[in-house]
A = this chain, B = another copy of it.
Amino acid sequence: MVQINKSEKIYEDLKMRILKGEFDENQILPIEKSLELEYNVSRNTIRKAIRQLNSEGLVYSKLGSANVVLQRVAVEDLLIDSGNMERGSKIQTKSNETKVLSLDLIIVDATLAAKSMFQIGTTCYHVIRLRLINGKPVMIDDSFFKSEVVPRLTKKIAQESIYRYIQSVTNHKIIGSRLVDRVILATDLDKNYLALKQENCIGLTQNWAYLDDGQIFEYTEIHFAPEQYVRTRFIGQKVGYIQ
């Protein structure tokens, strides 16, 4: 069991209680004062937990009134919650396998530099991997890793976990990714590997991954078969903002 702090524990507990339907009757949480007493913490700690519930779209804090529990959507349980990848996605629980299609050491040219944000002349590994879940091909990772960060990358390492490898050979942590999602025409590679049906398009996710020194060390284009491409998120409306 991981040791987490009070606000995190309270967040997890309240989330569980919400999803179990404990507050379905009135659709509001108990007032903050009573949560203080119940969990025996300060109001700030309660508020920190509720802030997390707000950002996930489980609760709306209504000034002067209450912390309102939002109506749930049926599909959401089935989906990988992209707004919550930090906690590990549900995909992890399934059997998955990686097939390395190619691995080359290359020098960054102008075209790649513009996309990847790597400097021209940088040496990096170009890795193409096919990802299978329960034996079914679901995505292709077309990746570039700064060789400085993953020295002596091999197919074997790429097949296991490059991230684990990085964290074992560097002092740096991987702290997050900036993602851009698009829909594009399928490439020949996609058609060969992704078992597309009628569709001639795929979901593309561009991924710039960061180390804790603030630098991008990886640029990946993830190609998804359409039915595999699903994203969920919650967006709070700014007061006064009108569509």
Point out the residues of chain B lying under 8 angstroms from A69, CB to CB. 214
Q: Which of A181-215 contact B (CB under 8 A)?
A: 181-185, 198-203, 206, 208, 210, 212-215
Given contacts A27-B214, A238-B88, contact A183 B199 (CB under 8 A): yes
Interface flag for A161 (CB, 8 Å): yes
Q: Which B residues are in CB contact (< 8 Å) with A57?
A: 176, 178
Contact (Cβ within 8 A) A86 B238: yes
List of B residues within 8 angstroms of A87 by Cβ: 238, 241
Contact: A27 with B235, CB < 8 Å? no
* Given A199-B183, A237-B175, A71 and B226 contact (CB-CB distance below 8 Å): no
A41 cross-chain contacts in B, Cβ below 8 A: none
CB distance from A4 to the nearest CB of B (A): 10
With a 10 A CB-CB cut-off, give which of A79, A179, A224, A237 has the most chain B CB atoms.
A237
Is residue A164 contacting chain B, with contact meaning CB distance below 8 A? yes
Instruction: Indicate if A180 sits at the interface (CB-CB under 8 A).
Output: yes
Query: B73 touching A208 by the CB < 8 A rule?
Result: yes
The answer to whether A180 touches B234, judged by C-beta atoms less than 8 angstroms apart, is: no
> A23-56 vs B: 1/0 string, CB under 8 Å?
0000110000000000000000000000000010
Q: Are B200 and A199 in contact (CB under 8 A)?
A: yes
Closest beta carbon of chain B to A10's beta carbon, Å: 18
Are the CB atoms of B82 and A233 closer together than 8 Å?
A: yes
A243–B183 CA distance with the chains assembled, in angstroms? 24
Contact B176 A234 (CB under 8 A): yes
In chain B, what residue has the closest Cβ to A65?
B212
Interface residues of A (CB under 8 A from B): 2, 27-28, 55, 57, 60, 62, 68-71, 73-76, 79, 82-83, 85-88, 114, 117, 161-164, 167, 173-185, 198-203, 206, 208, 210, 212-216, 224, 226, 229-243
